[in-house]
Structure 1
Amino acid sequence: MAQESPKPALRPFLAADTPVLAAIFAASILELTGDDYSEAQQEAWAASADDEQAFGKRLAGQLTLIATLENSPVGFASLKGNDHIDMLYVHPDAAGEGIGSMLCDALERLAGGRGVKALTVDASETAQEFFRKRGYVARQRNSVSVNGEWLANTTMQKQLGDAAAPGAQS
C-alpha cells in the first residue's frame, strides 16, 4: 500500500518562528536563485535576514502566513498593507511541491476578502514566471540596492476578480 504524502497546512506567524523563517529565506535565495543572480547578489540578499530581530519585526508587522509539513515550517508569505505581497519564500527541499501556490492563493483570497481589486508584488527574476502563470502582469522593472549590491526585480500586478462585493459596479 502506497504511503500518502503529508498534506501542507497554513498557520499564522508567531514570533518564535523567526529563526526558522530566516533560515528558509536564506536557503531559498542561496539555493534557488543562482541562475538569475550572482553569488555576491545572493549573499547580500540572504544577509537581509541576518538581523533576526529586525526580520521578525518585519514579519510581525505584516499579515504573515506559514506553510507547514508535519508541523514544520517549509515556506512563508507576507502581505504588506492590504495589496502588496512583500515576501514569498519556500525552502529548497519543498520547492515545486505546490507550497508557493498554496501561500499565494491564501494571500489572494485574504486580499480579495478585504475588498482589494488588485494585488502587486516586486518579483525577483527567479519568481517572475511563477507569478506570470498566476495571472500577474509586469508593470515596471526595478533595480534595488540590498546590502551594497544592486538586484533587479519587476513590479507585477494581478486583478482580483472576486474582490468586489456582490452586485458592486466595477
Structure 2
Amino acid sequence: MAQALPQPGLRPFLPADTPMLAAIFVAAIQELTGDDYGETQQEAWAAVADDEVAFGKKLAGELTLIATIQNSPVGFASLKNNNQIDMLYVHPSVAGQGVGAMLCDALEKLAGARGTKTLSVDASDNALDFFRKRGYVAKQRNSVSIEGEWLANTTMQKILANGTDAGGTP
C-alpha cells in the first residue's frame, strides 16, 4: 500500500528555485509523456530547460507557484497574462497524488480573483484527461515546433465564475 504524502505547501517562485524546477520539468517530460510522445520529441521538449537563465526568466516573468513537500519543490505551475496556464509540471514521484490539482486550483482561484472569466491551457496529450476532469473543454488541436520536432497539444478552456471555478467552489 502506498504511503500517504505529507501535506503539500504552496509558495511563490524564487530565482534560486530555477535549477530544481528545470530538473522537475525534464523528469516530468522524460518519465510521464512516453505514451504520447516519441523519444526525440521528449528530448526536444526537455531541451527548453537547458538554458537555465532563460528558463528562470520565463518563470519569473509569469505568476509562478511552487508546490513543496517538507520544503522541497515537487511541482510548479505558472499563470501567463492572468488568463493562461502556461506550465504545470510535477515530479514523477508525486504524479497522481493531488499536487497538480492543488497547483491548478490555486491558479484558477488567482485568475478568477483578478477578474479573468475564462482560463485556457495548451495541454499536452498526456494532460488532456487531467484538464478535462477539471472542467476544461477542448477548443483546437495545435502542432508546435520545438528544436526541429513537431509536438501536438490541445488548447482547452474553462469558464471561471467570479473568482470561483465552474463548479462553484470558492
- The TM-score bracket by the shorter chain reads over 0.9
Report the AA paired with residue 32 of structure 1.
L
Q: Matched residues in 2 for 1:130 and 1:154: separation? A: 12
Residue 108 of structure 1 aligns to a residue whose secondary structure is helix
Partner of 2:109 in structure 1? Answer: 109
Task: Count matched residues.
Answer: 162
Q: What letter corresponds to residue 62 of structure 2 in structure 1? A: Q
* CA 44–123 in structure 1, closer or farther in 2 if over 3 Å, else same: same
For 2:130, the equivalent position in structure 1 comes to 130
SS at match of 1:68: strand
Shift of 1:163: 3.6
State the shift of 1:162 in Å: 2.8
What corresponds to 2:167 in structure 1? none
Aligned partner letter, 1:54: A
Structure 1: how far apart are the matches of 2:47 and 2:4?
A: 37
- Per the TM alignment, residue 105 of structure 1 is displaced from its structure 2 partner at its CA by 0.1
Structure 1 Cα separation of the partners of residues 145 and 5 of structure 2: 40
CA 117–24 in structure 1, closer or farther in 2 if over 3 Å, else same: same
- Is residue 10 from structure 1 mapped to residue 25 from structure 2 by the alignment? no
Root-mean-square deviation over aligned CA pairs? 1.2
Tell me the distance in 2 between the aligned counterparts of 1:124 and 1:42. Answer: 11
| Closer/same/farther in 2, CA of residues 27 and 109 from structure 1, 3 Å limit | same
- Secondary structure at 2:88's aligned position in 1? strand
Q: Which runs of 5+ in 1 are unaligned?
A: 165-170
Larger radius of gyration, structure 1 or 2? 1
* TM-score, with structure 2 as normaliser: 0.93
- Measure how far apart 1:4 and its partner are: 6.6
Post-superposition Cα deviations, 1:77-130, rounded to whole Å, max 9, x if no partner, equal: 000011000000000001011000000000000000001000000000000110
Distance 1:48 1:159 in 2: 30
Match of 2:75 in 1: 75
Give SS of 2:139's match.
strand
Distance 1:106 1:50, change over 3 A: same
- Report the 3-state secondary structure (helix = DSSP H, G, I; strand = E; otherwise coil) of the residue aligned with 2:126: coil
Which residue of structure 2 aligns with residue 145 of structure 1?
145
> Match for 2:53: what amino acid?
Q
* Structure 2 counterpart of 1:15, one-letter code: P
Q: Match of 2:41, SS? A: helix
State the match for 1:168 in structure 2: none
Q: What TM-score do you get using the length of structure 1 for normalisation?
A: 0.93
Instruction: Indicate conservation of the 8 Å contact 2:110/2:163, yes or no.
Output: no
Aligned partner of 1:157 in structure 2 is 157
Structure-2 residue corresponding to 1:27? 27
What is the letter of the counterpart of residue 158 of structure 1?
K
Instruction: Measure how far apart 1:33 and its partner are.
Output: 0.1
Extract unaligned runs of 5+ from structure 2: 165-170
Match of 2:45 in 1: 45
* Aligned equivalents of 2:9, 2:85: Cα separation in 1: 19
